[in-house]
Amino acid sequence: MKVTVFGIGYVGLVQAAVLADAGHHVCCVDIDPDKIAGLKKGVIPIYEPGLEALVLKGTREGRLVFTTDAAMGVGHGQLQFIAVGTPPDEDGSADLKYVLAVAETIARHMAGRKVIINKSTVPVGTADKVSAKVAAVLAERGESLPYAVVSNPEFLKEGAAVSDCQKPDRIVIGTSDSEAEKAMRELYAPFNRNHDKVIVMDVRSAELTKYAANCMLATKISFMNEIANLAELLGADIEAVRKGIGSDPRIGYHFIYPGCGYGGSCFPKDVQALVRTAQQVGYEPALLQSVEDVNYRQKQKLFQFINRHFKGELEGKTIALWGLAFKPNTDDMREASSRVLMEALWAAGAKVQAFDPEAMDETIRIYGQRSDLKLVSTLEEALAGADALAICTEWQPFRAPDFERIKASLSEPVIFDGRNLYEPAALKAQGFTYYAIGRGDSISQNQ
Ligand code: UDX
């Protein structure tokens, strides 16, 4: 099929590359000329396992093209994906200006029937707004061309985006238009082979499904973080509790890892956006608000441990930091817990010596060069001359480090672990002071 994707960010690029790999002909449109020029030369703007190979293959085989020419994009696809950003505005609501600008572009240039697909995470009611925008522009043009607006949310995880997209758990299609449903089923047929993963529903339910999924996952994490905080005060061990509750299949082992808070481009933004949506219809979403509040507090935790340990005397201290990305296998720093920690340390007069396997360029892009931030190229270099080690991301190479070397490098053997990577008893036996999240004994021994 012929498909156009507007917005070649994370979601758009992965979706386009995966569709092209499955045999569709995909035209990618973005307003950023540098990004498009780079992609034409095979420069992939984000790090995502497997993505580069797919983009290069699609381009070589002629099924994936990149352009800034919106008219060409509209002309190309019978299916028009909108995958542009929906950044939060000042009050946390999703800002729809980019989505509606693409709707307008499509309506300006279309010459025949189009299926317009919302892939961006958008508030309930957006499909209706897109539809109204297209209708208004067509009326202005004096045309009455047929079109349908479909909600088709993505559920991909960063770091596993390509495989999530190729092997989706479910394909949610929100439409009441039978022709559009047929086209969407045909589009996704290559990904829907073994059993039917397509779930068709009305457009508003599809829009809410995306928020409900992300908010449920964020709720699981904040719930665990709350219990972890309690475990610290009660002298219990959250890791034992996690195993204990996860064994109940109704709860499950997935996504109940406590830590120094969730980050990324989805959970913080989507929880806030659903809170705003609820308030706009006169409902106070107490649970969602708490999910957000617990996460805000959780992101301060490592700094609080560090500050307490050093009795508020952080001026001139150097903290080694392992992990900058909001989670492993990505270079994404959006809403990363590391940022909250670094900014608090800097404000207190401490220096940071950081290592991350992928996110160092991104860190420089965000913070620039500064005298209180040194980025180094190995785990070991981060430790050299530092006063303590803090860990914000559970990258695989951090899981089994050389503890003797850590001890020898730090001026004091103390580790602040925001991802519970180590066993408190083992670290204690090796002479470390070890702070982790919700591991009662390890915390109380330091209090
Ligand atoms: C998430 C959803 O998983 C995905 O389905 C949706 O489409 C987009 O949002 P992503 O933001 O890529 O994906 O990351 P994810 O792996 O879900 O992690 C989000 C954050 O939660 C990370 O900061 C991670 O460290 C944290 N997390 C995750 C926990 O603290 N504990 C857990 O048990 C799981």
In Å, how far from its chain's centre is CA 291?
17
Number of the ligand 1 atom closest to the C-alpha atom of 221: 31
Estimate the share of the chain in helix, then strand, then coil, as percent rounded to the nearest 5: 45, 15, 40
Q: Are residues 65 and 182 in the same domain?
A: yes
State the distance from the centre of ligand 1 to the C-alpha of 215, rounded, in angstroms: 11
Residue from 160, 215, 167 nearest 328 by CA: 160
Establish whether 378 is an annotated binding residue: no
State the distance from the centre of ligand 1 to the C-alpha of 5, rounded, in angstroms: 25
Query: What domain count does the chain have?
Result: 2
Residue 382 falls inside a structural domain: yes
Q: In CATH, what number is assigned to the domain containing residue 443?
A: 3.40.50.720
State the distance from the centre of ligand 1 to the C-alpha of 163, rounded, in angstroms: 16
Which mutation among 10, 11, 48, 157 tests ligand 1's pocket best, with the greatest number of atoms within 8 A of CB? Answer: 157
Provide the 3-class DSSP secondary structure of residue 260. coil
Q: Are residues 268 and 192 in the same domain?
A: no
Provide the 3-class DSSP secondary structure of residue 289. helix
pLDDT tens for each residue of 328-339: 999 999 999 999
Helices (H), 310-356: 337-347
Q: How is the beta sheet containing 388-391 ordered, strand by strand?
A: 373-375, 351-355, 318-322, 388-391, 414-417, 433-435
Enumerate residue ranges in the chain where pLDDT < 70: 441-447
Give the chain's count of helices (H) and strands (E): 19, 14
Residue 197 falls inside a structural domain: yes
Q: Are residues 156 and 265 in the same domain?
A: no
- 393-399-405 Cα angle (round to 5): 110
Residue 228 falls inside a structural domain: no
Q: Are residues 193 and 246 in the same domain?
A: no
State the distance from the centre of ligand 1 to the C-alpha of 391, rounded, in angstroms: 17
Residue 96 falls inside a structural domain: yes
Pocket of ligand 1 (CB under 6 A): 154-158, 214, 217, 221, 255-257, 259, 262-267, 326-327
What residues contact residue 442 under an 8 Å CB cut-off, 6+ apart? 424, 427, 428, 434, 435, 436
Task: Record the pTM.
Answer: 0.92
Residue 226 falls inside a structural domain: no
Number of the ligand 1 atom closest to the C-alpha atom of 259: 30
Residue from 108, 88, 105, 86 nearest 97 by CA: 86
Q: Are residues 134 and 60 in the same domain?
A: yes
Q: Are residues 23 and 166 in the same domain?
A: yes
Q: Are residues 55 and 106 in the same domain?
A: yes
Q: Are residues 197 and 239 in the same domain?
A: no
Residue 213 falls inside a structural domain: no
Catalytic residue among 27, 165, 260, 266: 266
What residues contact residue 188 under an 8 Å CB cut-off, 6+ apart? 171, 198
User: Integer distance in angstroms from the first to the last C-alpha of the chain?
Assistant: 63
| Domain-ending residue, one of 201, 216, 243 | 201
pLDDT tens for each residue of 238-269: 999 999 999 999 999 999 999 999 999 899 99
State the distance from the centre of ligand 1 to the C-alpha of 246, rounded, in angstroms: 18
What residues contact residue 407 under an 8 Å CB cut-off, 6+ apart? 413, 430, 431, 432
Q: Are residues 178 and 326 in the same domain?
A: no
Establish whether 256 is an annotated binding residue: yes
Establish whether 86 is an annotated binding residue: yes
Residue whose tokens read 């994707």 = 5
Which mutation among 262, 391, 398 tests ligand 1's pocket best, with the greatest number of atoms within 8 A of CB? Answer: 262
Let me know: does 84 contact 7? Beta carbons within 8 Å: yes
pLDDT at 53: 96
State the distance from the centre of ligand 1 to the C-alpha of 440, rounded, in angstroms: 25
Domain around 243: 235-447
Residue 206 falls inside a structural domain: no
Is residue 266 flagged as an active site residue?
yes
Q: Are residues 406 and 291 in the same domain?
A: yes
Distance CA 318, CA 389 (A): 9
Distance CA 281, CA 279 (A): 5
Which mutation among 170, 172, 217 tests ligand 1's pocket best, with the greatest number of atoms within 8 A of CB? Answer: 217
Q: Are residues 157 and 289 in the same domain?
A: no
Helices (H), 110-237: 126-141, 161-166, 178-188, 203-234
Residue from 372, 360, 308 nearest 336 by CA: 360
Q: Whose CA is nearest to atom 17 of ligand 1?
A: 157
Establish whether 226 is an annotated binding residue: no
Residue 211 falls inside a structural domain: no
Establish whether 210 is an annotated binding residue: yes
Distance CA 17, CA 28 (A): 9
pLDDT at 227: 98
Establish whether 35 is an annotated binding residue: yes
Q: Are residues 139 and 278 in the same domain?
A: no
Task: Look at the chain and count its residues.
Answer: 447
